[in-house]
């Protein structure tokens, strides 16, 4: 390890040690009210204390999150809903309180110097949380309104009101996100944030980066919705906290806190396509030690071919997912947590004549994929570690696949550990420092991995969030990663948050940072490598990709009595250097992977708004993103394939008095640059604008029982066959990449949910 790396790590950890932070002499961040030279506090500036209890309908609300507006600290009430916040500046203040399933409450209070303010409050239940707690933006719990980084949240209730069989479909409703299908036979896909390709998105579970390369393609589809509390999405540079895969953003799946999980939950549903799904969750436990077991089993064995190309429109798919979680909280705070997940999938797509005995043959075309995946996620924070916390994860991914007569055998191991320390410097600073280590092992039988990919990447990072005033905060951070072939790489980050109004209803955010990523040709163009007849050529000594990004956010809460509206305007710009490109034009018989000799740019603007009209039983949200994604090489500008010019999303929910809820969701996708083909297989080089609509009705039958019926792709829109030369799938012209929209039309889903509360 280089001496520079060791020196920086030692310096950061030394600066965060208790002996340094509590050393003699004036504090480096002393209040301006401190009397110079004597360390005395002005009598009018002596901090006070806030105490209170949180209830709902006369019953205590346990473990609610409590914070004073403008502070960087978020505390947790105890099991009886009681809380104490000390070191609070005197004067007029606002208390923020939220709990899962309840509306956020804002309580103004006045605190005298050195005094105690008692606050009692009542929380109302909520269908949608306007100000939830998030962790992804800063790697610590904070109210979304107080976070210096904008975070989008998809809660579990939204997932239920737009029921799908996998997470990739669920996030289609998030403004700025787009799911691109890479292969129209086996339906591998990736997540694009603000137009950037899938490899630039880090996918986490409970903050642990266990998805890598091929695992992202399939792993996200195997997450059981019954184990999810919420999905947090961060758009923009996040490499300082989450490493090189987070150049474009982060999708963090937060699993359920076992204290709030129901004793059991079962979701049974069937689709008109022939698919059957069973989701279940069991949560026994004691006050200190709690555990849960959940799972999802899916069966799809029906051949469907609406467009008549003799290929399956929806792949046959048998999937089993099992997830277990343990949490030990002897004194209310978790000291040990462990989760494990197993995922199995048997996926197939191809011609109607294909049978299992044809697997890998060159006579009848089919794509058959067997996937086994194991994930472990843990955290350790006993009392003797004080402010330190150890997070760790391990993922094993094994894939046995054939694409026509092309076999693919791949195995991946991802080891990760994160040792962090959090703390406060007075009432205005909240710091985070840490050491991180990642070990990646990747081996397969493609030309992209002629030698086993084995990389150990240690790192160190530090971040400080400074509340300059209740209206203005600054967060700065730096990450140093040690790459074997590239030395120590720095990833800085700076975020500014300004709330110019005292009520906090107007907020400006700016977030800037850099990114660095060692390219992996396999993860860049998996479909291109395993499909078609072209040979693959990997350029010599590919340089790592670099980027710098800036995002801006304007958030405004508009008062409409008890039904405020949330409005967001976002601007984003990212510029890449040395971007890896798959060149299909250099030679008609080759795919040449090389660094772009120029620049690649992603830029755009998005608008979104949402409102919960609780008195009318109506809630709605809508958003649209316009983006320009292109490359410039040798003075020639070219749009990036599969990046739509715009995408809009909407969701409307209405609850009738008899317990029936109607949910209408949909999206509109603008034109995209598409691959071009030689005669006689020409296709339109630009896709048309299209829209997809979904409708779901949910009846609350009482006692934790719900029945739902939904129609997907209500107006039956399809693009037609996405395949090029499907009559000759083993020929040189066959291609599976021309897919830009739904291939299968309208279908129905019916299901029932059974839930028993904690």
User: Where does the pLDDT of residue 30 fall: very low under 50, low under 70, confident under 90, or very high at 90 and above?
Assistant: very low
CB count in 10 Å sphere of residue 614: 17
Residue 533 vs residues 589, 685, 710, 729, 732: alpha-carbon distances, Å: 8, 22, 41, 10, 5
Instruction: State how far the Cα of 440 lies from the Cα of 678, in Å rounded to an integer.
Output: 40
Q: Is the pLDDT of residue 462 over 80?
A: yes
Supply the pLDDT for residue 67.
82
Look-up: residue for tokens 């860049």? 524
User: What's the whole-number mean pLDDT along residues 42-53?
Assistant: 80
Q: Is residue 437 part of a domain?
A: yes
Do 82 and 162 belong together in one domain? Answer: no
Instruction: State how far the Cα of 434 lies from the Cα of 678, in Å rounded to an integer.
Output: 53
Task: Find the CATH number of the domain harbouring 52.
Answer: 2.60.40.10
Per-position DSSP letters for 256-307, written without gaps between them: PPTTTS-SEEEEEEEETTS-EEEEEEE--B-SSEEEEEEEEEEEE-----SS
Task: Find the CATH number of the domain harbouring 160.
Answer: 2.40.170.20
Instruction: Please answer whether residues 66 and 83 qualify as being in contact, where contact means their C-beta atoms are separated by less than 8 angstroms.
Output: yes
Do 342 and 322 belong together in one domain? Answer: yes
Do 10 and 78 belong together in one domain? Answer: no
User: What's the whole-number mean pLDDT along residues 149-157?
Assistant: 81
Q: Is residue 505 part of a domain?
A: yes
Instruction: State how far the Cα of 356 lies from the Cα of 301, in Å rounded to an integer.
Output: 13
Do 162 and 103 belong together in one domain? Answer: no
Q: Please give the residue that has the higher pLDDT: either 672 or 429.
A: 672
Q: Is the pLDDT of residue 13 over 50?
A: no
Cα-flanking dihedrals φ and ψ of residue 374, to 5°? -125, 135
User: What's the whole-number mean pLDDT along residues 527-553?
Assistant: 72
The proportion of the chain whose per-residue pLDDT surpasses 70, expressed as a percent, equals 83
Instruction: State how far the Cα of 720 lies from the Cα of 660, in Å rounded to an integer.
Output: 36
Supply the pLDDT for residue 97.
84
Least confident of 258-267, 304-313, 577-586, 670-679: 577-586
User: What's the whole-number mean pLDDT along residues 341-354?
Assistant: 92
Do 187 and 80 belong together in one domain? Answer: no
Instruction: Please answer whether residues 120 and 107 qualify as being in contact, where contact means their C-beta atoms are separated by less than 8 angstroms.
Output: no
Q: Is the pLDDT of residue 36 over 50?
A: no
Classify residue 172 by burial, with Cβ atoms within 10 Å: 0-12, 13-18, 19+. Answer: buried
What tens digit of pLDDT does each residue of 599-614 get?
889 999 999 998 888 7
Single out the residue in 76, 97, 126 at which a domain terminates: 126
What tens digit of pLDDT does each residue of 64-107 get?
888 887 676 777 787 778 888 888 888 888 888 877 667 777 88
Do 301 and 332 belong together in one domain? Answer: yes
Single out the residue in 91, 126, 161 at which a domain terminates: 126
Do 109 and 147 belong together in one domain? Answer: no
Do 501 and 633 belong together in one domain? Answer: yes
Cis check for the bond before 713: say yes or no (omega within 30 of 0): no
Q: Is the pLDDT of residue 16 over 60?
A: no
Instruction: State how far the Cα of 272 lies from the Cα of 751, in Å rounded to an integer.
Output: 12
Q: Is residue 39 part of a domain?
A: no
Q: Is residue 41 part of a domain?
A: no
User: Where does the pLDDT of residue 309 fall: very low under 50, low under 70, confident under 90, or very high at 90 and above?
Assistant: very high
At residue 242, the 3 state secondary structure works out as: helix
Structural domain span for residue 374: 133-756
Q: Is residue 611 part of a domain?
A: yes
Reported in sequence order, the residue ranges of 445-502 that DSSP labels E, i.e. its strands, are 453-469, 472-483, 487-498
Share of the chain residues as helix, strand and coil, in percent rounded to the nearest 5: 10, 55, 35
Do 118 and 182 belong together in one domain? Answer: no
Which of 35-49, 343-357, 475-489, 529-543 ranks highest by mean pLDDT?
A: 343-357
User: What's the whole-number mean pLDDT along residues 240-245?
Assistant: 69
Q: Please give the residue that has the higher pLDDT: either 109 or 662.
A: 662
Residue 112 vs residues 31, 48, 434, 723: alpha-carbon distances, Å: 17, 7, 38, 72
Supply the pLDDT for residue 316.
92
Counted domains in the chain: 3
Instruction: State how far the Cα of 750 lies from the Cα of 744, in Å rounded to an integer.
Output: 18
User: Where does the pLDDT of residue 382 fall: very low under 50, low under 70, confident under 90, or very high at 90 and above?
Assistant: confident
The proportion of the chain whose per-residue pLDDT surpasses 90, expressed as a percent, equals 33
Supply the pLDDT for residue 224.
66
Q: Is the pLDDT of residue 243 over 90?
A: no
Helices and strands (H and E) in the chain: how many: 8, 44
Do 702 and 722 belong together in one domain? Answer: yes
Q: Is residue 65 part of a domain?
A: yes
User: What's the whole-number mean pLDDT along residues 632-638?
Assistant: 88
Report the sign of the C-alpha dihedral through residues 652, 656, 659, 660, in that order.
negative
Q: Is the pLDDT of residue 231 over 50?
A: yes
At residue 142, the 3 state secondary structure works out as: strand
Do 11 and 59 belong together in one domain? Answer: no
Q: Is residue 61 part of a domain?
A: yes
Mean pLDDT across the chain, nearest whole number? 81
Supply the pLDDT for residue 42.
64
Single out the residue in 126, 151, 169 at which a domain terminates: 126
Q: Is residue 694 part of a domain?
A: yes
Do 107 and 185 belong together in one domain? Answer: no
- Edge-to-edge strands of the sheet including 535-538? 535-538, 590-595, 580-583
Q: Is the pLDDT of residue 31 over 50?
A: no
């Amino acid at each position: 390890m280089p001496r520079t790396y060791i020196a920086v790590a030692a310096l950061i950890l030394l600066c965060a040690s208790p002996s340094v932070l509590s050393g003699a002499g004036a504090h480096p961040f002393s209040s301006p009210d401190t009397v110079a030279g004597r360390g005395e506090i002005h009598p009018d500036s002596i901090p006070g204390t806030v105490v209170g209890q949180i209830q709902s309908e006369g019953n205590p609300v346990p473990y609610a999150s409590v914070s004073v507006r403008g502070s960087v600290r978020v505390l947790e009430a105890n099991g009886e809903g009681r809380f104490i916040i000390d070191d609070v500046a005197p004067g007029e203040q606002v208390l923020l309180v939220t709990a899962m399933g309840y509306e956020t409450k804002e309580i103004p209070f006045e605190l005298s110097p050195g005094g105690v303010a008692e606050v009692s409050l009542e929380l109302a239940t909520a269908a949608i949380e306007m100000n939830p707690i998030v962790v992804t933006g800063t790697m610590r719990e904070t109210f979304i309104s107080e976070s210096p980084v904008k975070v989008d949240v998809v809660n579990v209730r939204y997932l239920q009101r737009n029921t799908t069989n996998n997470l990739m479909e669920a996030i289609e409703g998030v403004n700025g996100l787009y799911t691109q299908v890479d292969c129209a036979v086996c339906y591998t896909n990736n997540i694009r944030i603000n137009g950037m390709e899938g490899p630039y998105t880090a996918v986490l579970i409970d903050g642990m980066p266990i998805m890598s390369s091929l695992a992202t393609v399939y792993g996200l589809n195997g997450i059981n919705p019954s184990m999810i509390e919420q999905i947090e999405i961060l758009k923009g540079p996040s490499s300082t906290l989450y490493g090189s895969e987070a150049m474009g953003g982060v999708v963090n799946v937060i699993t359920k806190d076992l204290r709030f999980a129901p004793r059991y939950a079962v979701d049974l549903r069937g689709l008109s396509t022939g698919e059957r799904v069973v989701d279940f969750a069991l949560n026994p436990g004691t006050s200190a030690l709690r555990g849960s077991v959940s799972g999802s089993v899916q069966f799809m064995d029906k051949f469907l071919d609406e467009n008549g190309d003799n290929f399956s429109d929806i792949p046959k798919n048998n999937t089993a997912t099992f997830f277990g979680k343990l949490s030990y909280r002897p004194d209310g705070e978790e000291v040990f947590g462990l989760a494990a997940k197993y995922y199995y999938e048997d996926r197939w797509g191809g011609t109607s004549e294909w049978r299992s005995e044809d697997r890998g043959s060159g006579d009848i075309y089919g794509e058959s994929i067997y996937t086994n995946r194991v994930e472990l996620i843990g955290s350790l924070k006993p009392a003797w570690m004080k402010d330190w916390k150890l997070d760790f994860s391990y993922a094993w991914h094994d894939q046995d696949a054939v694409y026509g007569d092309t076999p693919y055998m791949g195995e991946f191991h991802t080891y990760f550990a994160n040792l962090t320390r959090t703390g406060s410097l007075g009432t205005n600073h909240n710091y985070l420092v840490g050491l991180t280590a990642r070990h990646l092992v990747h081996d397969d039988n493609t030309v992209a991995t002629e030698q086993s990919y084995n990389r150990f990447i240690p790192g160190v990072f530090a971040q400080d969030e400074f509340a300059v005033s209740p209206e203005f905060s600054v967060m700065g951070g730096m990450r140093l990663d040690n790459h074997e072939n590239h030395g120590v790489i720095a990833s800085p980050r700076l975020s500014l948050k300004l709330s110019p109004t005292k009520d906090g209803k107007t907020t400006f955010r700016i977030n800037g940072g850099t990114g660095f990523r060692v390219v992996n040709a396999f993860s860049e163009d998996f479909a291109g490598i395993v499909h078609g007849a072209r040979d693959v050529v990997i350029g010599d000594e590919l340089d790592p990709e670099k980027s710098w990004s800036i995002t801006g956010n304007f958030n405004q809460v508009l008062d409409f009595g008890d039904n405020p509206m949330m409005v967001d305007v976002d601007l984003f710009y990212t510029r890449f250097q040395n971007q890896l490109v798959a060149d299909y034009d250099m030679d008609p018989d080759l795919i040449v992977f090389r660094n772009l000799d120029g620049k690649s740019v992603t830029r755009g603007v998005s608008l979104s708004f949402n409102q919960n009209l609780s008195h009318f039983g109506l809630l709605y949200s809508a958003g649209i993103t316009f983006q320009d994604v292109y490359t410039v090489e040798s003075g020639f500008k070219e749009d990036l394939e599969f990046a739509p010019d715009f995408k809009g999303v909407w969701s409307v929910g209405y609850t009738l008095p008899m317990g029936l809820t109607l949910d209408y969701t949909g999206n509109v996708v603008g034109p995209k640059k598409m691959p071009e083909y030689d005669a006689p297989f020409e296709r339109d080089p630009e896709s048309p604008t299209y829209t997809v609509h979904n409708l779901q009705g949910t009846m609350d039958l009482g006692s934790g029982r719900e029945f739902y019926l939904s129609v997907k792709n209500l107006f039956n829109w399809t693009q037609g066959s996405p395949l090029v030369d499907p009559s000759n799938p083993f020929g040189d012209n066959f291609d599976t990449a021309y897919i830009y929209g739904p291939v299968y039309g309208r279908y129905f889903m019916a299901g029932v949910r059974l839930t028993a509360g904690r």
